[in-house]
Copies of this chain bind each other. A is one copy, B any other.
Amino acid sequence: MPVMGTNHTLAPGISTRLFSFIGGSTGNWRVTRMTTICGEPLPVARFLNIAPAAVSGVGAAWVLRGITSNERYVTQEEKSELLAKQEGLGRPASRCAALIPIRKSATWWTLTQDERRDIFEEQSAHIKTGLGFLPAIARRLHHCRDLGPDEPYDFLTWFEYAPEDAAAFDDLAAQLRVSPEWKFVTGEVDIRLERISGK
């Protein structure tokens, strides 16, 4: 399986919106911890590779696919603030990463936009909380739910940060997990990683 062996990087300017996160025995990122927060666990993987494409899972412990998409909740004002503060993926100092696949309940998905926004931000301050950790924690959100009818997760969020910001990342995750929004999370795995030297 040729794609598995190649070392795809998260280079800026990649033109696809679709990414595959391949857990297995090879990759640019070493898995340091996999914690099932709720729902089904994922099979253990020692390494992670990220491919800017859909790949088959031959030889891998798992392949999770997600697609970047339009903004769902941020307002124009919030977006301006995010753009002013955030930094991109691939910073040399970002030697730590987290991949957090999340699934939300059927109840969440039957809510209307105004109801979801109210829980997401007015009740849970999801955007505001994330803003407090910029630019240290860089992130990219991938949507899975509308890739097909049988995806195991709804979202894959990829975070990158420097080793000295690992405690801050723990704080961010903890703050979100006690928010009202998280009552709708039915599946979550927290995968921590470190970049392999020289890659």
Contacts and interface: CB of A to CB of B under 8 A. Distances in A.
B67 A113 contact: no
Given A70-B110, A113-B117, A117-B113, A18 B148 contact: yes
A16 B149 CA distance: 6
Contacts of A16: 149
A71 interface: yes
A67 B18 contact: no
A73 interface: yes
A54 interface: yes
B146 A75 contact: no
Given A16-B149, A18-B149, A149-B16, A113 B71 contact: yes
DSSP class of A's interface residues: helix, strand, loop or mixed? loop
A106 B72 CA distance: 15
B114 A69 contact: no
11 contacts: A16-B149, A18-B148, A70-B110, A70-B111, A74-B113, A75-B113, A75-B114, A76-B112, A76-B114, A113-B117, A147-B148
